[in-house]
């Protein structure tokens, strides 16, 4: 059993929280503060209970050495704005100075540590690095769901040094919706998959092929399925190495009476960038020189009708190249549909990465039952894997 935040007596304690502040930063400015915003409830709960808080995270890939481009300073500015208090910052996460700052904290104060990955010990899950990190807290809380599929010092090694450890509010919500809910989802369960890569969604398909009523497939991965069925896909993206896997999935779906629905029409174009010709065609008449870049209007209708009859819909992966205005319509329509379904007693769960960005770009995230903050971590958890950082919280 993993302890929840509210099971601890936090008064006058120093709480070390692993957060996920791996956010896009350009020229020292945070471009998307969503992950920082998601960490606020846990921090506030600790502060209101009379604790002081030490926050640690990685940012980007500095590969074990100090690099100003990956400094947490810009994150600290945004954090301070969200919390509406000044915060303390240390330029190194394990040196004596930083540990002294932590020891000097008063209840209600926050201390942000510099990027964990400025030390090789973080990704190596080094014993000594974990021990030094643990000096920052009397209680350890992991709220960094996005890195749970990694076995690093700050989310796995560090836990061996704590008697008192547990999950933050964000982590708890992710586990609730991506793990517990799917043990007994509201029926019928519909899976909507898209994006470019099939390979990282295979475990999820295998797991849900016996549970789901329908699996709807859009995005670039469609064309590997169409190819597996012997259809012409023009110049659309295909993954040759996945054709036989696609055939097996189609066969398994038939055996399990799961309906796999592929698009019935596509928006095709001569180019992704600066297209000179865009048209909508049926799935079986993609011209040789054209690329399929979005699902078409008939597919949007077909998918929407199935989604509206579901009890739970799990969405992972965009329906087209939604980064381009010309090819965003499929993804946008799905994002709007899920948002509009708010009052329909349907659980809408969005599994991180690009589909989460699409929800935030096109619709109202507040209307969705759960939008995961983790890309890879959510795929692995939904695929039925044990995530090392979650398992580490269960160890006594
Ligand atoms: P993934 O990481 O596998 O979920 O893939 C996400 C990416 O798939 C996004 O950047 C989309 O632009 C891309 N994508 C979606 N549909 C297509 C398509 N039909 N052709 C090429 N790329 C696509």
Mean pLDDT of the chain: 96
Global confidence as pTM: 0.92
pLDDT of res. 353: 85
pLDDT of amino acid 259: 85
- Whether the pLDDT of residue 364 is over 80: the answer is yes
328 lines ligand 1 (CB under 6 A): no
Report pLDDT for 256.
Answer: 83
Q: How far is the CA of 194 from the centre of ligand 1 (A)?
A: 7
C-alpha to C-alpha distance for 291 and 268, rounded to whole angstroms: 5
Among 203, 134, 141, which residue's Cα sits nearest to residue 172?
141
Residue 317 in contact with residue 354, Cβ under 8 Å? yes
Structure tokens at 123: 């990704």
Question: What SS3 state is found at 37?
Answer: helix
Q: Where are the beta strands (DSSP E) in the chain?
A: 14-18, 25-26, 29-30, 52-56, 88-90, 110-113, 139-142, 165-167, 189-193, 214-217, 259-261, 265-269, 278-282, 291-295, 312-316, 347-350, 370-371
What secondary structure letter does DSSP report for 235? T
- pLDDT value of position 203: 87
Where in the sequence numbering do the catalytic residues fall?
35, 197, 353, 376
**What's the pLDDT tens digit per position in 155-189?**
999 999 999 999 999 999 999 999 999 889 999 99
Distances (CA, A) of 92 to 47, 129, 138, 269: 23, 12, 20, 50
**Contact 292 CB / ligand 1 (< 6 Å):** yes
C-beta of residue 198 within 8 angstroms of C-beta of residue 213: no
Q: Is 172 in the pocket of ligand 1 (CB under 6 A)?
A: no
What pLDDT is recorded for position 44? 98
Report which protein residue has its CA nearest ligand 1's atom 11: 321
pLDDT in tens, 271-299: 999 999 999 999 999 999 999 999 999 99
What pLDDT digit, counting tens, does each position of 119-154 carry?
A: 999 999 999 999 999 999 999 999 999 999 999 999
56 lines ligand 1 (CB under 6 A): no
Specify the length of the chain in residues. Answer: 396
- Ligand 1 pocket residue status of 321, Cβ below 6 Å: yes
pLDDT at residue number 352: 77
Residue 395 reports pLDDT greater than 80: no
Residue nearest to atom 5 of ligand 1 (CA): 195
Reply yes or no on whether the pLDDT at 200 is more than 90.
no
Could you give the CA distance from residue 198 to residue 103 in angstroms, rounded to a whole number? 48
Nearest atom within ligand 1 for CA of residue 355: 4
191, 193, 196, 328: residue to mutate for ligand 1 pocket, most atoms within 8 A of CB: 196
User: Taking a C-beta distance cutoff of 8 angstroms, is the pair 342, 115 a contact?
Assistant: no
């Amino acid at each position: 059993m993993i302890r929840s935040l509210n099971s601890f007596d936090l008064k006058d304690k120093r709480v070390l929280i692993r957060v996920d502040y791996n956010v896009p930063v350009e020229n020292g400015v945070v471009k998307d503060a969503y992950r920082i915003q998601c960490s606020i409830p846990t921090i506030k709960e600790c502060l209101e209970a009379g604790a002081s808080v030490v926050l640690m995270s990685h940012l980007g890939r500095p590969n074990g050495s100090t690099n100003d481009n990956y400094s947490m300073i810009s994150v600290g500015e945004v954090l301070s704005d969200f919390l509406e208090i000044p915060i303390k910052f240390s330029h190194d996460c394990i040196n004596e100075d930083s540990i002294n700052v932590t020891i000097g904290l008063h209840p209600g104060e926050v201390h942000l540590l510099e990027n964990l990955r400025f030390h090789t010990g973080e990704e190596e899950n080094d014993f000594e690095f974990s021990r030094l990190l643990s000096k920052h807290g009397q209680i350890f809380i992991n709220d960094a769901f996005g890195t749970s599929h990694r076995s690093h010092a700050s989310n796995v090694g560090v836990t061996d040094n704590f008697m008192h450890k547990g999950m933050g509010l964000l982590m708890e919500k992710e586990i609730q919706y991506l793990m517990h809910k799917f043990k007994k989802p509201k029926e019928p369960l519909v899976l909507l998959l898209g994006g470019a890569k099939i390979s990282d969604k295979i475990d999820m398909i295998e797991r849900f092929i016996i549970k789901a009523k329908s699996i709807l497939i859009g995005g670039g991965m469609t064309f590997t399925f169409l190819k597996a069925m012997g259809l012409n896909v023009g110049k659309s993206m295909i993954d040759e190495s996945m054709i036989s896997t696609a055939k097996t999935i189609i066969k398994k779906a038939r055996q399990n009476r799961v309906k796999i629905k592929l698009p019935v029409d596509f928006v095709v174009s001569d180019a992704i960038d600066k297209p000179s010709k865009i048209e909508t065609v049926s799935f079986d008449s993609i011209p040789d020189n054209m690329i399929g870049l979005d699902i078409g209007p008939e597919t949007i209708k077909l998918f929407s009708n199935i989604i509206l009859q579901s009890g739970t819909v799990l969405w992972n992966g965009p329906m087209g190249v939604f980064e381009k205005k010309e090819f965003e319509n499929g993804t946008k329509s799905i994002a709007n549909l899920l948002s509009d379904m708010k009052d329909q007693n349907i659980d809408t769960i969005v599994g991180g990465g690009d589909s989460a960005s699409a929800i935030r770009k096109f619709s109202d995230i507040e209307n969705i039952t759960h939008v995961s903050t983790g890309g890879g971590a959510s795929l692995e958890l939904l695929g039925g894997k044990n995530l090392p950082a979650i398992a580490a919280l269960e160890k006594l």
